[in-house]
Amino acid sequence: MTMSDGRDVSEDLTQTADRRRLWVRAYNGVAGLFPVKTASVDDMLRLAERRAKFADWGPTSFREGLELLVKGYNEDGLAHPLGRKLFYDSLIDRLVQRLQVVKTLSEQPHITEQPVTSPVLIAGFARTGTTFLHRLLARDPRLRAPLCWEAEEPAPPPHPDSADTDPRVKKYDRTWKLVFHLAPRAKVIHFKSARLADECYPLLERSFTCINLALFFEQPEYSQWLSAAPQDIVDAAYQFYRQQLQLLQIHYPPRRWVLKAPAHTPFIDGFVRAFPDAKIIYTHRDLATAIGSVASLLTTIRSIAYRTVDPRKIGEEVLDMVDHVTRRFMRARSSLPAGHFCDVQYDRLTGDTISVLHDIYAHLGLAFDDDMEAQARQWLAADAAEKSGEHRYDLGDYGLDEQIIRRRLRDYIDASRTWT
């Protein structure tokens, strides 16, 4: 099978073992000589407790999602040894971080008494302009976006006096350099570094209630469970999410949070229950384009953990995921007052950005004066100059076309016309 420009999909997209870095092949070769070990949730919890030197987990609603993730890990027979190690280690990291947060809150209970006032959430599907808008709004001194390293490891809480020298900055710069080493295309598709304003999905991952946990490693049963996660699980995740924001802001002057993660989209009602005065900016883009872009990103991410990746299987998985997310989002949105939402079209956001910003700031109740416009134009010019590489993909590579997508997602497409 070939791509639209004549390149072979199996060569360009699956990134087989023959094309991997030498050290990756060496690791897999040696590790592959030993039996595959299964994971135990109880053993993982004890390991996390030893590393965190703390054993009070607080509410244990997080275990339901974790149990399914570990079950999927144990049943997967296709990931190579390094991929299994990376996924297992990521779960341990989230458990340790959860304990660190709970420990900090138990030592400083006043943290959870702080208000989190009218946070701004940028929601919508992945690849709809959410990152572009988030990093633009993060330039406003009245707003605060979590930096990548802060979201990844919020405890102990960051302090403005040591933010530039905090060892977690170098730690997560190294992490993302490794990711881009293992999957170079990811750097073009979605660049990250420790000091950039970034998605807040790690705050949900520490409750194991986040679709991002099913991106790197195949998790069909977990994904199905998450699509129908009960309200008590969702609300517990957002209570802990709120506490992490309170922790992150404890040493800083009060500012409104500007948050962003497509992972919030199916649980938008849970977010509003946690933050009743929230303002939501919801981004829209042609779904055929967005789904093709997501499929390309997911293929790139999966290539880190698997020797081969089937693009057509990825296409089917992404379409199923979007279908489930849209249905849950439509139900959630219909239950919320319209005043929470400001809808933004991708083409207008990227083609008439300043006009869109005027609309957004009016929705947020903030002034957008000449100085703010000048700052926005300066950032837009710098962002355009810094872009490198082109994210190329074709729906056909994933067994999809526009008709298939529009037929499957007709209800959402019809509903979205009434919002915009």
Using the predicted structure, report yes or no on whether residue 330 has a pLDDT greater than 80: yes
Nearest to 207, CA basis, from 75, 98, 350: 98
Residue 56 burial class via C-beta count within 10 angstroms: exposed 0-12, middle 13-18, buried 19 and up:
exposed
Give the pLDDT score at 7: 43
Give the pLDDT score at 342: 98
* 127 domain-assigned: yes
Using the predicted structure, report yes or no on whether residue 126 has a pLDDT greater than 70: yes
**What proportion of the chain, given as a percentage, has pLDDT over 70?**
94
Range of the domain at 148: 9-419
* 1 domain-assigned: no
* 2 domain-assigned: no
* 3 domain-assigned: no
Using the predicted structure, report yes or no on whether residue 2 has a pLDDT greater than 50: no
pLDDT tens, residue by residue, 331-359? 999 999 999 999 999 999 999 999 999 99
The DSSP line for 179-222 is: HHHH-THHHHHS---TTSB---HHHHHTTT--GGGGTSS--HHH
Give the pLDDT score at 22: 83
pLDDT tens, residue by residue, 270-300? 999 999 999 999 999 999 889 998 999 999 9
The DSSP line for 209-259 is: --GGGGTSS--HHHHHHHHT--HHHHHHHHHHHHHHHHHHHTTS---EEEE
Query: Would you give the distance in Å from CA 5 to the centre of its chain?
Result: 30
Nearest to 229, CA basis, from 210, 242, 216: 210
Give the pLDDT score at 116: 98
pLDDT tens, residue by residue, 143-154? 999 999 999 999
Using the predicted structure, report yes or no on whether residue 20 has a pLDDT greater than 60: no
Using the predicted structure, report yes or no on whether residue 18 has a pLDDT greater than 60: no
* 338 domain-assigned: yes
pLDDT tens, residue by residue, 197-228? 999 999 999 999 999 999 999 999 999 999 99
Quickly state the pLDDT bin for 387 (edges 50, 70, 90): low
Q: Is 144 helix (H, G, I), strand (E, B) or coil?
A: strand
Q: Is 177 helix (H, G, I), strand (E, B) or coil?
A: helix
The model's pTM = 0.92
Specify whether the CB–CB gap between 203 and 245 falls below 8 A: yes
The C-alpha angle 62, 302, 67, rounded to 5 degrees, equals 20
Give the pLDDT score at 17: 40
| Residues 322, 420: Cα–Cα separation, whole Å | 19
| Residues 338, 162: Cα–Cα separation, whole Å | 41
Give the pLDDT score at 384: 83
Edge-first strand listing for the sheet containing 143-144: 143-144, 256-260, 120-124, 279-284, 341-345
**What proportion of the chain, given as a percentage, has pLDDT over 90?**
81
Specify whether the CB–CB gap between 54 and 106 falls below 8 A: no
| Residues 150, 127: Cα–Cα separation, whole Å | 23
Which range, of 45-54, 284-293, 385-394, averages the lowest pLDDT? 385-394
* 4 domain-assigned: no
How many structural domains compose the chain? Answer: 1
Give the pLDDT score at 3: 40
Query: Residue 286 maps to which CATH number?
Result: 3.40.50.300
* 367 domain-assigned: yes
Give the pLDDT score at 14: 41
Nearest to 152, CA basis, from 139, 166, 138: 166
| Residues 212, 347: Cα–Cα separation, whole Å | 26
Element of type H or E holding 82: helix 81-107
Query: How many of the other CB atoms lie within 10 Å of CB of 151?
Result: 22
Quickly state the pLDDT bin for 5 (edges 50, 70, 90): very low
The rounded mean pLDDT for the chain is: 92
* 183 domain-assigned: yes
